[in-house]
Amino acid sequence: MAKLRSRLGAVTATAAISALTVGGLSSAALAAVDEPVDAGITVPKVDGLADDFMNGVDASSILSLEESGVTFKDFEGNEADVFDVMADAGVNYSRIRVWNDPFTAEGEGYGGGNVDAERATEIGLRSTEGGMKVFLDFHYSDFWAHPGQQQEPKAWSEMSAAEKADALYDYTYETVSDMKNAGVDIGMVQIGNETTNLEAAGESWPASGALFKAGADAVRDALGDDAKVAIHFTNPERGTYMGYAEKLDKGPDGNANTGDEIDYDVFASSYYAYWHGTLTNLTSQLSNVATTYDKDVIVAETSWNYTLEDGDGHENTIRKSTQSDKYSSSVQGQALAVRDVIDAVAKVGDAGLGVFYWEPAWLPVGTADDVESNKLLWEEFGSGWASSYAGEYSTDAGKNYGGSAWDNQAMFDFEGNPLESLRVFDYVKTGSVAPRELDSIQQPAITVTEGDAITLPRLRGGVLHGRHHGNRDRDLERQGLVDRRTWCLRDQWHDGERLRHRRDDYRARRLRRGREPRGQPRLRGRQVPVGDHG
């Protein structure tokens, strides 16, 4: 692995980028007002962040993990409460999913933390004690609810939409009231999880409108103005958010100001960089909703992988065959991925309230080479994504139950040590600067057929401080040194010049021998690793 280090000094990432020259840093850069902290990772400052910006996490699987023997450490290596560790790193909000009844009649848990209202209250109290406000995420299901899977709870399976609305109101009101009375500091409540196409609890729009309204009304009645009401969607790349917002604004009858409108405060989106398009589009989608319908906006779920290794023997969602090249699979790449989502939400303006990282603590319960022991823990404590018991409720879970598919996207390593990327929530306020380090150089290959002209890439890609090489700043590109946005070094010789020199030498040798050149030198159908030829 090639290494390149140079201290950038006390300048913001943005200032350093614009001030970098062949000779080093300009005096203007050194005089930058906002000085970043020295760190092990580089995180450019995010401008315009409010003091109360929601730096959130969703660690809903935590009780089952701890019951399975997982422990966590602080940045000094001492065993510590995970919520204290996250709070020390700048996290100020805790999102907690709530399932109605994630258990069999005999009491076996479905997995994924087995998070019913009682366990959500326990997590909420620990979050509150750690200094965080709580964001409740009602799925209105007994297990995972997401696009294409909005199954009603077992107890509601024979109900009409109107009856479900009544049951949903009662369940929401009682749950948030009990949590408040227990001492949980609830700041926001989500009505349904990733309710794409406005589906919830087995109902589609417009019938589902009564359910959204019932949930929102229950939160208002139980908590008043002390908590915001959020409705959550995903797939911003599809451009559907304005349509959802319009329907919520008019209500299920399709007409404004008739009394059936959905009373909510926050339009929430998931955003996973490897699935959900560009950050520019995310900002645009959220800004349009915020401006047109006077709503606040958040990203309720995001994450990125810091490694491609598997920690528990259960296949991860992001692995070598499914990885994205938007950022590197590293702690640095993870930090930049989160930083850029925070930046995208901040660019919405005052309506951009915050960003929540999904399951930063979902660690392996054992090693990858001891899957059989891990399976026993997943089944007993619900610390995997699903147990076999969930098969009675979910066909998908019944076929694919197992461990954590998320352990390589956690913000703790497999042994429970916090990664420096967890500090991104603090670093975005000032920026952080690390030694510049070229993590890796991509090694693409080309296959050529005898007789064909050989065309090589003009630039060889590299990964520097977590981002992949790109062409984003023409001025600094002309200097031949760096890519402005990604801090990537130029591979200056690798532009075909060496091949042209070889070709010219070949032609000169032919002419000296009294022979006519015969075109390009040839390679006989073999792969040539780019960058290894000379």
List active site positions: 194, 301
For residues 175 and 153, what is the distance between their CA atoms, to the nearest angstrom? 15
For residues 25 and 368, what is the distance between their CA atoms, to the nearest angstrom? 46
Contact 489, 2 (CB under 8 A): no
| Sign of the alpha-carbon torsion through 426, 428, 434, 438 | positive
| Sign of the alpha-carbon torsion through 169, 171, 174, 175 | negative
Q: At a CB cut-off of 8 Å and minimum separation 6, what does 19 contact?
A: 11, 25, 26, 28, 29
Which amino acid is it at 160?
Answer: S
β strands within 337-395, DSSP E = 352-358
Name the residue among 102, 178, 97 with its Cα closest to residue 138: 97
Chain center to CA of 285: 17
For residues 147 and 234, what is the distance between their CA atoms, to the nearest angstrom? 8
When computed from its CA atoms, the radius of gyration of the chain, rounded to whole angstroms, is: 27
Per-position b or e across 95-115, b if 16+ CB within 10 A of its CB? bbbbbbbbbbeeebbbbbbbb
The DSSP secondary-structure symbol of 423 reads G
For residues 179 and 84, what is the distance between their CA atoms, to the nearest angstrom? 20
Whole-Å CA distances, 253 to 84, 167, 199, 263, 521: 47, 22, 16, 15, 72
Overall residue count recorded for the chain in this entry: 534
Contact 343, 394 (CB under 8 A): no
For residues 271 and 352, what is the distance between their CA atoms, to the nearest angstrom? 14
The H or E element containing residue 230 is: strand 228-233
